[in-house]
Amino acid sequence: MLTVVAAALLALTLGVIGSTLPVPFVALGPGPTYDTLGDYEDAPIVAVTDLPTYPTSGHLNMTTVSVTDQLSLFTALSFWVSGDRRLVPREPIFPSDRSTEEVQDENAAQFASSELNAVSAALVELGGPASVVVVGVVPGSPVEGLLELQDEIVSVDGVPVGTAEAVTELIGRSAPGATASLVVRRDGDERTVPVVLGTRPDRPQGFLGITPGLGPLPDSDITISLGGIGGPSAGLMFALGVLDKLTPGELTGGRFVAGTGSIGPSGAVSAIDGVPFKMIAARDVGATVFLVPAANCAEAAASAPEGLTLVRVDTLDDAVQSLDTLRDGGVPPAC
């Protein structure tokens, strides 16, 4: 009798521990997708004000990875056995020296910067008139606290600027410790902002600490609104959504296109994490074409779901040309 009671107590104890003891892992899996040509919470994800827009069709879905945290031992084991999720160490995703809120804030900041980069890349692709704006601020840099995202840069040291490259070139004329005089426009008001340039080990020139890009002219606006998402990997699909609305013709040709990839302000597409899960998410919602950063192609090709055509892209222009090729019945570069 005592043996039975002891065994029952042991089983109960193990059950409690297994269902409550957290493990140092998180579970990754396919997340939700969002059509950048559509709406989110009854508002357009890509909204254009005071610029000509054109009809669109099909889908241009950005994709995400779900992250399940605070796993119990039993939950982690069930994910491992089922194969529905991948267990990875928690530390790289939620570093122990930062709170969950700090990590979420960082992801939100990356997402906001990706939205601005997407608009900039689309305007570069269009080649039309635009303003030069701040699309990124380096933490701890000389301009932190002085300039904000979407500040328009009117001039540097008295020289008007019309391109992002002009800002970089003008700042590069000065040495560390010099004071650069920037005229910026924020909320319609111009102000002069003196900045003492810092140093970086990889360059002898003065360091300002911003990423310049392009934005709409002051009398128009392009906004991207999608709550609750973090990280930079939606940039490519946001840029395509902006382009499709601002150009005649329909990029997708009516197809269900999904994809991923971070984007720079000039249109370069960079690798991201979680491609296998994003492809599954895309297939599950009906996508037939998936845009993949070139640097992720090997990983994508090794785990592509059946029925999903993978298209390799290095730049936003690559993506546009590939979608044009598909629409015309051709075969674009594949992974």
Q: What is the sign of the dihedral through the CA atoms of 24, 25, 31 and 36?
A: positive
User: Beta-carbon neighbour count of residue 91 at 10 Å?
Assistant: 12
Q: What is the sign of the dihedral through the CA atoms of 169, 171, 172 and 173?
A: positive
Distance CA 206, CA 168 (A): 10
Q: Is 245 a catalytic residue?
A: no
Q: What is the CA radius of gyration of the chain?
A: 24
Distance CA 162, CA 130 (A): 8
Cβ neighbours of residue 206 closer than 8 Å, sequence gap 6 or more: 171, 172, 174, 175, 176, 177, 178, 180, 197, 198, 199
Among residues 131, 155, 278, 322, which one is catalytic? 278
Closest by CA to 66, choosing from 22, 33, 107, is 33
3-state class percentages of the chain: helix first, strand second, coil last, to nearest 5: 30, 30, 35
Cβ neighbours of residue 318 closer than 8 Å, sequence gap 6 or more: 269, 312, 333
Identify the bridge partners of residue 184 per DSSP, sorted by sequence position: 153, 191
Among residues 233, 245, 262, 322, which one is catalytic? 233
Six-digit token pair at 153?
A: 């840069």
Q: Is the distance from CB of 37 to CB of 67 less than 8 angstroms?
A: no
DSSP SS3 for 181: strand
Q: Which residues are catalytic?
A: 233, 278
